[in-house]
Amino acid sequence: MPHDLSFSVLHDYGTSDEGIVVPVTLSSGDQSVDFTARVDTGSTFCVFKRAYADILGIDIEAGHHVRMGTVTGGFDAYGHTLTLKLLGYSFDVMVYFAKEESFTRNVLGRRGWLDQVRLALVEYEGKLYLSKYDEAEASS
């Protein structure tokens, strides 16, 4: 049986090998920083470079400490509740910053972002469709 879904946003991320990349703004108080991040459905959390916390004036070690595991080992990160903006939406969420400056990835994970949206991907065309989870949708 077919299912119909409707989405408010269409983002063309292209078909390069860079992955599913979206523009992001992180805000803390009156400070903000813009960058790109990859959608990573395998990541539990939204994790960003330490440099962005430094730009926002955040003492990362004052946040919620977690040890994150990867297929190649692990790393320490610290969580802070910030405003995450992307593709016209705004979310107040816990995001994590890697402790080590050598961590260079920015990922949007399942907790804090993906759990608040409806998402569809057409990888062949490089298209991401997005709506907030609680927005009205058409389905059958």
Answer whether 19's CB lies under 8 Å from 83's CB. no
Q: Kindly report, residue by residue over 82-101, the tens digit of the pLDDT.
A: 999 999 999 999 999 999 99
Q: Kindly report, residue by residue over 3-48, the tens digit of the pLDDT.
A: 888 999 999 999 888 899 999 999 999 999 999 999 999 999 999 9
Q: How far is CA 136 from the centre of its chain?
A: 22
Give the dihedral sign, CA 124/122/128/39.
negative
Identify residue 47 by its one-letter amino acid code. Answer: V
Q: How far apart are CA 81 and CA 79, in angstroms?
A: 7
Indicate whether this model's pTM tops 0.85: yes
Q: How far apart are CA 109 and CA 95, in angstroms?
A: 9
> Which domains are delineated in the chain?
21-130 (2.40.70.10)
